Amino acid sequence: MTRIAIAGAAGRMGRILTVACDEADDMTLTLALERAQNPSLGNDSGILAGIEPNGVLISDTLDAQQFDVLIDFTHPQVTSAHVDFCIEHDKKMVIGTTGCDAVLEQKLRHAGDSIALVYAPNMSIGVNLCLQLLKTAAAVLGDSVDIEIIEAHHRHKVDAPSGTALKMGRVIAETLGRNLDDCAVYGRQGQTGARDRNTIGFETIRAGDIVGEHTVLFADEGERIEITHKASSRMTFARGAIRATRWLGPQNKGLFSMQDVLALK
């Protein structure tokens, strides 16, 4: 039985992860973590998640003796501190935190020299299948099309574009032999001139309670191809995280992605 710690357990994603962990017959939640002064400290994490009481109270103390794998869908600064802790105590991690910058991503790569981690800005199985489709589309269409990435999320999301949209852009850029940092265009306003075909455009929508929607548009004159993924429930990300946790079991060290988990590489 794998012992699970969930970071941000009182948040929207943390509560869904608690439910997903409860559904898994080979895992048990043993630590529900929140920041100090969170009003939910001391409450039963099962009750907070809308399921039966599980006896795991929300805590602000990360205790290495209580878990095997830490699932973290929090914030980059928090995740960075958790990586340090897990390296020190030889614990595995599944990370779905978005908004991670290049410094943190480099830290995760170095962490893979010591511990086993799965890191993905989107744990959805469907999204990761879409990444494979995007590689194929980009390879076939090459530089003959205009490429735009449109993403929409709920009003509370703090980073833009989403980590998933950026991952899609990187996959396409790498397939085309481009550097996304050089060819990305984030929104347009005013007299922008004719579109440069070598750019990859990003458009961001933040509204209401949209869980997550991504569309990549490959547009030529006379036809276009759209590859779209729409999530209607955060449970799709939570179940992906549980699948990643299960896959991580026999791994001793290394930084992995959902492409590894799903055997898509």
pLDDT digits (tens, 9 = 90+) for 134-166: 999 999 999 999 999 999 999 999 899 998 999
- Is 157 catalytic? The answer is yes
* Count of residues in the chain: 265
Provide the whole-model pTM: 0.84
Single out the catalytic residue among 91, 107, 153, 167. Answer: 153
| Domain boundaries of the chain, sorted by first residue | 2-119+234-261, 125-231
- The architecture CATH gives domain 2-119+234-261: 3-Layer(aba) Sandwich (3.40)
Strand order, beta sheet including 254-256: 58-59, 27-33, 2-7, 69-72, 92-95, 116-119, 254-256
Same fold, 2-119+234-261 and 125-231: no
Output the tens digit of pLDDT for each of the chain's 265 residues: 999 999 999 999 999 999 999 999 999 999 999 999 999 999 999 999 999 999 999 999 999 999 999 999 999 999 999 999 999 999 999 999 988 999 999 999 999 999 999 999 889 999 999 999 999 999 999 999 999 999 999 999 989 999 899 999 999 999 999 999 999 999 898 998 999 999 999 999 999 999 999 999 999 999 999 999 999 999 999 999 999 999 999 999 999 999 999 998 7
- Is 156 catalytic? The answer is no
pLDDT digits (tens, 9 = 90+) for 52-76: 999 999 999 999 999 999 999 999 9
d(CA 28, CA 201): 43
Give every CB contact of residue 129 below 8 A, 6+ residues apart in sequence: 262, 264
d(CA 258, CA 264): 8
- The architecture CATH gives domain 125-231: 2-Layer Sandwich (3.30)
Query: Do 204 and 160 form a contact (C-beta atoms < 8 A)?
Result: yes
